[in-house]
Structure 1
Amino acid sequence: MREVDVPDALALAADPEATAARHRLSYSHRKEHDRTIADAKSDATSAHRVEKRIAKLRGGS
C-alpha cells in the first residue's frame, strides 16, 4: 500500500475517528488533502484547513 506523508498538524490531531476515515481514502485523495494543508502560506491557514479536514473526515461539514 502506498503511503502519503502526513502533515505534522494532521498527525498530531490524534483523532481516532478521523484517522480511521483518512485511512479508508484512496492514495490520491489522501495526497490531495494533505497537499492542500501543506501548501498553506500561514500557520493560521494550515490550522484552519486541518480543523476543516478533521470535521469532514468525521462526517461533518
Structure 2
Amino acid sequence: MNNHSNTNLNNDLDNKLNDLNIPGTVIEVIQAEAEELGAFEEDALDEADALEANDVENNVEDH
C-alpha cells in the first residue's frame, strides 16, 4: 500500500471511529481497517498453555 492510500485509509478509519460516538450508528470496516484495529490479532492460549494453567490451579487447591 502506498503512502497516499495509507493516508486515505487512516482518514477514513478516523472518520468511522468518530461516527461511533453517534448512538445507533453501525460502522462497516474493510479488512485492512479491521486489521489496523486489531480485530484479527490472535491472543488466545494454545492448548499446552491452557493445560499448564489448569495444572497450576489444581496444585494450589491441593495445598
TM range (shorter): 0.3 to 0.5
TM-score with structure 2 setting the length = 0.33
Q: Which has the higher contact order (CA 8 A, sep 6+)?
A: 1
